[in-house]
Amino acid sequence: MARQSALKDSTQKKSATTLRDVGDAKAKHLAPNLDRLIHERMRLGIVSALAANESLTFNDLKSLMNTTDGNLSVHARKLEDGGYIACTKSFEGRLPKTEYKLTLAGRRALENYLSHMETLIHQMRNS
């Protein structure tokens, strides 16, 4: 009896895995087209936060993303190099101020990434 139940469980698990594999296989061909620059969590967060604001300072982003100076500057530099965000440095009184804005290319990259994610989900639902 226990053996029968174990066999049933194993068959169910196997068929679920197979179904999932089919969906994944369909979706996987989309994965290579993923924009790796914003696929990383911190960079995706920076781009998303800037999409909801006209501009944000380095300190605003640091506080929003709950991260360190070093980590934020590394990821922001990568996005800047990719042309997704623009950085302006100025002085507010005597204090230096670094401000980031999302570029048109960055906004399009986020929109493409969103539609990519939606396609992946739809493909899985339709399989």
Partner 1 sequence: MGSIHLVVPQKEEPPALHERAMDNLKYIRETMERATAFTGISGWGQVAIGFTALVSASISAQQKTFKAWLAVWMAEALIALLIAGWSIDRKARAAKMPLLSGPGRKVAFSLSPPIFAGAIVTIVLYRAGLTNEIPGLWLLLYGTGVVTGGMFSVSVVPIMGLCFMALGAVAFFAPAEYANWLMAAGFGGLHIVFGVIIARRYGG
Please report, as ranges, the residues that interact with partner 1 according to CB under 8 A: 17, 20, 23-24, 27-28, 31, 41, 44-45, 48-56, 60, 63-64, 110, 114, 116-118, 120-121, 123-125
Give the separation between CA 8 and CA 10, rounded to whole angstroms. Answer: 5
Q: Residues with Cβ < 8 Å from 116, sequence gap 6 or more?
A: 30, 33, 34, 35
Closer CB to partner 1, 34 or 80, in the complex: 34
Contact 38, 103 (CB under 8 A): no
User: Helix, strand, coil: what percent of the chain each, to 5?
Assistant: 70, 15, 15
Closer CB to partner 1, 59 or 68, in the complex: 59
The nearest distance, CB 1 to partner 1, in angstroms, is: 21
The nearest distance, CB 119 to partner 1, in angstroms, is: 9
Closer CB to partner 1, 32 or 70, in the complex: 32
The nearest distance, CB 104 to partner 1, in angstroms, is: 16
Q: Computed over its alpha carbons, how large is the radius of gyration of the chain?
A: 21
Kindly state the tokens that stand for 101. Answer: 């804005």
The nearest distance, CB 20 to partner 1, in angstroms, is: 5
Closer CB to partner 1, 68 or 119, in the complex: 119
